[in-house]
Chains A and B, each alone.
Chain A
Amino acid sequence: MSNRLTRDQIAARVAQDIPEGAYVNLGIGLPTLVANHLPAGREVILHTENGMLGMGPAPAKGEEDYDLINAGKQPVTELPGCAFFHHADSFAMMRGGHLDICVLGAFQVSRHGDLANWHTGAPDAIPAVGGAMDLAIGAKDVFVMMELTTREGRSKLVETCTYPLTGVRCVSRVYTDLAVFDLRNGEITVTDLYGDATPDSLRALTGLPLAFA
């Protein structure tokens, strides 16, 4: 599907909406790509929930320090001005509303901003949640970054999530390979359309009432 945005292009689009001075947590997986697209010179402070603000990029090969890792347990680096803190302080930064933006992946997002991203609901799956539920409710703005359709071609932006929820009414914007969606009180506004996506094709795909900015 060459007419859809690549994952890197979605990441670049998210990066456009992260302003100078923001405190940001980039979730494990796809959202970590956003860091590569923050323009040089824009000061954004990255938070990692295992206990650091001012996280820098991956170290050069051979320079890894495994006391200095991110939430995905990958080695990172210190930027000047960085700070370390314990887990309770780190999650207080989220829950207490101090983080500006959190970028997360998702299995499904509902029109009301409910998020499902921790469990597929498969009965034999071993559950693991980590910080997903804390991140979901823990920033002033929660951005989701995902491909709009499942492998079977179904929309992951839905009327009601069928997967177990991570958080209720917490997502404010959804960045996908076909469009960007702004969610507000159950109203969905499409702000960007990509490739050959059209208002009609998006309405048909999602089955949701959509407004177009």
Chain B
Amino acid sequence: MISKLVSGTAEALADVPDGATIMIGGFGTAGQPMALIDALLEQGAKDLVIVNNNAGNGTTGLAALLGAGRVRKIVCSFPRQADSQIFDGLYRGGKIELELVPQGNLAERIRAAGAGIGAFYTPTGYGTPLAEGKETREINGRRYVLEYPLHADYALIKAELGDRWGNLTYRKTARNFGPIMASAARVAVAQVRRVVELGELDPETVVTPGIFVQRVVQIDAPRAQEQQ
């Protein structure tokens, strides 16, 4: 019998090695897998490369992981925020590497990795500092920049419902990076609010088919809260 269910977050992340590339879902607190991020902090792996839209807020979650000196590099679109003081300090001190990627290119690079695409030409960023040094090409009169896929060893995502085959549904705008990150990682770990019986999810409404998901852990936490 297939079961991707694991009993807790510690078990879900037990094998994360030093130096791993880890995608973390979420946009704001929506879709942010807080329990998994806390477990990663607890687990102790270091020298990590993190892929996330932002670079941590306040002093908890991803910010705490950065603050503990566990992240070598972050790939994101919007690191600087009103409460990104931990990242700001590390960056100014030269203690973390930043790869800044326009948000849509970030999403498409993740999608491309999951879809087995070798590279793609995108109009986003053409003629800007973020395209410097990259290959460009004119296709049918429009100019494009060559971008490469972003793969990960692990993806930590948050979903609403999941079953033992790893099928997932999401809730409202908490979907954001979840489906594409799941597909781009060797091991996708989904924190779900509730595990349901196989067959309970309407197949027409499954958003992430279980083939993209390796581990499911139920965390009945309160819904996303305002960012503090």
Contacts and interface: CB of A to CB of B under 8 A. Distances in A.
Contacts of A164: 128-129
A48 interface: yes
Interface residues of B, number: 53
Interface string B108-132: 1011000000000011111111100
A73 B100 contact: no
Interface string B173-187: 111111110000000
Nearest to A66: B224
Contact of B78 (A52, A68, A129, A167): A129
Given A88-B110, A90-B107, A134-B105, A67 B172 contact: yes
A109 interface: no
Given A126-B79, A126-B80, A126-B91, A50 B173 contact: yes
Given A127-B80, A131-B77, A133-B130, A86 B28 contact: no
A131 B176 CA distance: 13
A87 B128 contact: no
Contacts of B143: 168
Interface string B67-96: 000000000011111000001100110000
Majority-rule SS of A interface residues: loop
B178 to A, nearest CB: 7
A114 B104 CA distance: 19
Nearest to A137: B123
Contact of B28 (A64, A66, A95): A66
Contacts of B110: 87-88
Nearest to B32: A66
Interface string A81-113: 000111110111011000000000000000000
A158 B47 CA distance: 45
B28 A69 contact: yes
Nearest to A76: B173
B47 to A, nearest CB: 22
Contacts of B130: 129, 133
A172 interface: no
Nearest to B87: A126
Contacts of B91: 126
B140 interface: no
Contacts of A50: 27-28, 30, 173, 176
Interface of A: 48-52, 64-69, 73, 78, 84-88, 90-92, 94-95, 114, 119, 124-134, 137-138, 164-168
23 contacts: A49-B103, A50-B176, A52-B172, A65-B223, A67-B173, A67-B224, A69-B27, A84-B175, A86-B107, A86-B179, A88-B107, A88-B180, A91-B103, A124-B92, A127-B79, A127-B80, A130-B78, A131-B103, A132-B102, A134-B102, A137-B123, A138-B104, A167-B128
Given A90-B104, A92-B108, 10 more contacts: A50-B28, A51-B175, A52-B172, A65-B172, A87-B107, A91-B108, A126-B80, A131-B103, A133-B105, A168-B127
